Amino acid sequence: MNGVLVVDKPKGMTSHDVVNRVRRLLHEKSVGHLGTLDPMATGVLPLVMGKLTRLAQFYNASEKAYEGEIRFGFATDTYDADGDPVTPVLAVAPSFEQVIGAAARFRGVIEQTPPPFSAKKIEGVPAYKLARQNRPVELKPVPVEIKEFEILGVEGDCARFRARVASGTYMRSVAHEMGQALGIGAHLSVLRRTAAAEFDLSHARSLEEIEAAAGAGAEPLFVHLRRVLPALPSVTATDEAAAKIRVGRSVNLPEMSRAPLVKVFYGQNQLIAIAQRVAGTLFHPKFVLI
C-alpha cells in the first residue's frame, strides 16, 4: 500500500501511537510520519506508507503552521500543560499590549533553547530520557526561524496565537520564554498544527474515519499524489519509459530539460519514481517507488 495519509492527531496520543494504530488498521508495516507532534498537541500529522516512506527525506526541513494558546501565571517542567509547575502559580491578567510587546521579540531568526523534555540529543541520549531520570539537561540555544507569530486575543491569563515556523522550532519554548520576558511564567496550554509542508487540515482524516474506511479500502482517504512535493515538476511517462524506470534504467524526458529532480507518474495518480537529471533531457531514477 503506497500512499500519503494525513491524520488529524487527537490529543493524548504520541505520533508513534498514531503510526502504530494506522499500521494495524491498514495492515501495512511500512508507515512513517513527517514530523513529530507532542502528545498534548492535535492536528496535521502526515504519514507516508509503503515505498513512499522513502519520500520522508524531502520533508526534513518542512515549514509548519500552528494555532494555540499560551497560559500565563506559571511555568512547567515540560513547557506545556502536561508538565508540573516549576514556579509559583500566580493570578495574572496581562494586557493585550503587554503580550504583543513580548511576542515581538519572537519573530524572524532567533536563538531558541529547546525544552528539556524534547527529542534533542545530549551525547547521543534524547533529552527527555535524562529529564525523566532527574538528570541535568543542558541544551544549547540554536537558531530557528519564526516567520509569523500573531497574537489573536488575550482573555484573563490566556493568549491565543497563530504561528508559521521553520522546521526545528518549538512553540513550547516560545511560550516559556514569553513568560520569562514578562516575569510571570507561562506555558503552552493548547496547540493545534494546521499545516505541515503542503498538507493542511483540509487533507486531514480522523482515526475514526480511517477505521471506518479500512474494511473497504482506505485509498480514497489518501492525498492525491499529484499534490505531493509541489516544488518538483511532474511528468507522465509513456509505456516504454515507465518500463525502463521500473527496472532502474535512464530515460529521456524531452519536456524536462532544466529541472534537477522530477516526479515521474504512470497514468494520473501512480507515482513511479523520483528521477534525477543526468545530462540534457536524460534522467535516471533516484528512487523507484513501485
Say which CATH number the domain at 38 has. Answer: 3.30.2350.10
pLDDT tens track for 90-147: 999 999 999 999 999 999 999 998 887 666 665 566 556 655 666 666 678 889 999 9
**Which cell numbers in the block locate residue 5?**
495519509
Residues 18 and 134 in one domain: no
62 pLDDT higher than 60? yes
Residues 68 and 162 in one domain: yes
Active-site residue, selected from the candidate residues 8, 38, 82, 157: 38
pLDDT tens track for 148-179: 999 999 999 999 999 999 999 999 999 999 99
Residues 191 and 202 in one domain: no
Residues 188 and 209 in one domain: no
Backbone angles phi, psi at 26, to 5 degrees: -100, 0
Strands (E) in the chain, as ranges, are 3-9, 31-33, 42-49, 64-72, 108-112, 121-122, 125-126, 142-155, 158-165, 186-196, 199-200, 234-236, 251-252, 261-266, 270-279, 282-288
Residues 157 and 216 in one domain: no
Q: How many domains does the chain have?
A: 3
Residues 87 and 14 in one domain: no
Residues 144 and 160 in one domain: yes
Residues 83 and 10 in one domain: no
Residues 255 and 204 in one domain: no
274 pLDDT higher than 60? yes
Using the structure block, give the residue that is written with the C-alpha cell 515505498. 51
**Which ranges of 105-144 does DSSP label H, i.e. alpha helix?**
127-132
Say if CB 245 and CB 272 are below 8 A apart: yes
Dist. CA 124–CA 142, nearest whole Å: 17
Instruction: From 31, 45, 40, select the one nearest 201 (Cα to Cα).
Output: 45
In this predicted structure, what is the pLDDT of residue 119?
65
Beta-strand pair 42-49/186-196: parallel
Residues 187 and 253 in one domain: no
**Domain span at 93:** 64-196
Residues 137 and 113 in one domain: yes
For residue 267, give the CATH number of its domain: 2.30.130.60
pTM of this prediction?
Answer: 0.90
Residues 265 and 240 in one domain: yes
Count the alpha carbons within 13 Å of 93 in the hemisphere toward its beta carbon: 2
**Which cell numbers in the block locate residue 168?**
526545528
Dist. CA 273–CA 229, nearest whole Å: 12
* 38 catalytically annotated: yes
